[in-house]
Chain A
Amino acid sequence: METPFTHAAFKPDAAFAGAAERFLELLRSFGMPGAGAAGAGRDWSSLAGPLAGQFEQWLKTSQSAGPWFAAANAAASGPGAGVGAAQAGFFGPLPLGAGAAPQQDAQRTWDLVARLAQLQGQLASHWSEIAGTAARRFVARLGAMAGGAPSLDNALKLYELWVSCAEESYAATVRKDDFCRLQAELANTSAALLVEQRRHAETLVRAFGLPSRNEVDALYAQLKDLRRQLAELAEAARSRGAGAPRPARPAGTGRRKRPRKARA
Chain B
Amino acid sequence: MRPFAPDAEAVFAELTLRIAQTLTRLREVQGVTVGCSAKRAVWSCGKTTLYQYLPLAEAPSRAAGRPVLICFALVNRPYVLDLQPDRSLVRRLLAAGLSVYLIDWGDPDDADRCLDLEDYVERHLGGCVRHILVSRGTSSLDLLGVCQGGVLSLCYTALHRRDVANLVTLTTPVDFHTPDNLLSKWVRELDTELLRQSGNVPGEALNGLFLALMPFRLTQQKYVRLLAGNSDQRALEDFVRMERWIFDSPPQAAVALAEFVRWFYQENRLIRGTLRIGGKRVDLAAIVQPVLNLYALGDHIVPPGASAAMERCLGSRDYTGCGIDTGHIGMYASRKGADEIPSRIISWLRERP
Contact A167 B216 (CB under 8 A): yes
Contact B23 A63 (CB under 8 A): no
Q: How far is the CA of A62 from the CA of B240 in the complex (A)?
A: 22
B344: interface (CB < 8 Å): no
Contact B227 A181 (CB under 8 A): no
Number of interface residues, chain B, beta carbon within 8 A: 69
Name the B residues within 8 Å of A142 (CB-CB).
1, 3
Contact B7 A150 (CB under 8 A): yes
Contact A12 B18 (CB under 8 A): no
A163: interface (CB < 8 Å): yes
Contact A166 B216 (CB under 8 A): yes
A: contact size bracket: 35 or more
Q: Which residue of B lies closest to A146 (CB)?
A: B3
Within 8 A of A (CB), among B5-54: 5-12, 14-16, 18-19, 22-23, 26-27, 30
Q: How far is the CA of A12 from the CA of B23 in the complex (A)?
A: 9
Q: With A66-B208, A221-B114 as given contacts, are A91 and B199 in contact (CB-CB < 8 Å)? A: yes
Contact B2 A31 (CB under 8 A): yes
Q: How far is the CA of A27 from the CA of B3 in the complex (A)?
A: 9
Knowing that A10-B248, A17-B19, A66-B209 touch, tell me 16 more A-B residue pairs with CB under 8 angstroms. Answer: A3-B220, A8-B211, A12-B243, A12-B244, A16-B23, A16-B226, A20-B227, A32-B12, A67-B208, A91-B198, A166-B216, A170-B214, A174-B182, A180-B188, A184-B190, A227-B123
18 A-B residue pairs with CB within 8 Å: A8-B205, A10-B248, A12-B239, A16-B26, A19-B220, A19-B224, A32-B8, A67-B202, A146-B1, A150-B4, A150-B5, A154-B4, A171-B182, A180-B188, A183-B186, A191-B191, A191-B195, A221-B114
Chain A to chain B: the 6 pairs with minimum beta-carbon distance, closest first: A67-B205, A150-B8, A19-B223, A184-B189, A8-B207, A10-B247
A residues lining the B interface (CB < 8 Å): 3-5, 7-13, 15-20, 22-24, 27, 30-34, 38, 40, 42-44, 62-63, 65-67, 71, 90-92, 142, 145-152, 154-156, 158-160, 163, 166-167, 170-171, 174-175, 180-181, 183-185, 187-188, 191-192, 194-195, 198, 216-217, 220-221, 224, 227
